């Protein structure tokens, strides 16, 4: 599933950022979701919770910015905007 691979990639990148920041735990994650990514709303939240189980991202709040621009060059992606880490 393309969506699952995309989500795993975002989780991996978030973990890499958290490690580089020296954080033990991530407290908040901000995502940007393209209009054609097929990962919006409650489905993303449920998949996210499953994807981060057992990681430093587990339990972090997730803020999602949904794009409505289907012509955006990134309309089929999910991007990590930022995250907050706890030392």
3-state secondary structure of 2: helix
pLDDT digits (tens, 9 = 90+) for 16-64: 998 898 877 899 999 999 999 887 777 788 888 889 999 989 999 999 9
Question: In terms of pLDDT, which residue wins out, 41 or 9?
Answer: 9
Q: Are strands 61-66 and 25-33 parallel, antiparallel or unpaired?
A: parallel
- Is CATH 3.30.2320.50 correct for 2-86? yes
Domain residue extents for the chain: 2-86
What CA–CA distance (Å, rounded) separates 31 from 65?
6
Residue ranges with strand state E in 1-86: 25-33, 61-66, 78-86
Has this prediction a pTM greater than 0.75? yes
Please give the C-alpha separations between residue 65 and each of 1, 31, 32, 36, 70, in angstroms, as whole numbers: 22, 6, 5, 13, 14
């Amino acid at each position: 599933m393309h969506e699952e691979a995309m989500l795993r990639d975002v989780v991996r990148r978030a973990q890499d950022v958290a490690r580089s920041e020296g954080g033990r735990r991530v407290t908040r994650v901000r995502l940007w979701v393209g209009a054609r990514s097929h990962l919006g709303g409650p489905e993303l939240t449920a998949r996210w919770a499953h994807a981060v189980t057992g990681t430093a991202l587990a339990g972090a709040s997730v803020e999602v910015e949904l794009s409505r621009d289907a012509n955006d060059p990134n309309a089929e992606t999910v991007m990590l905007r930022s995250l907050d880490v706890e030392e």
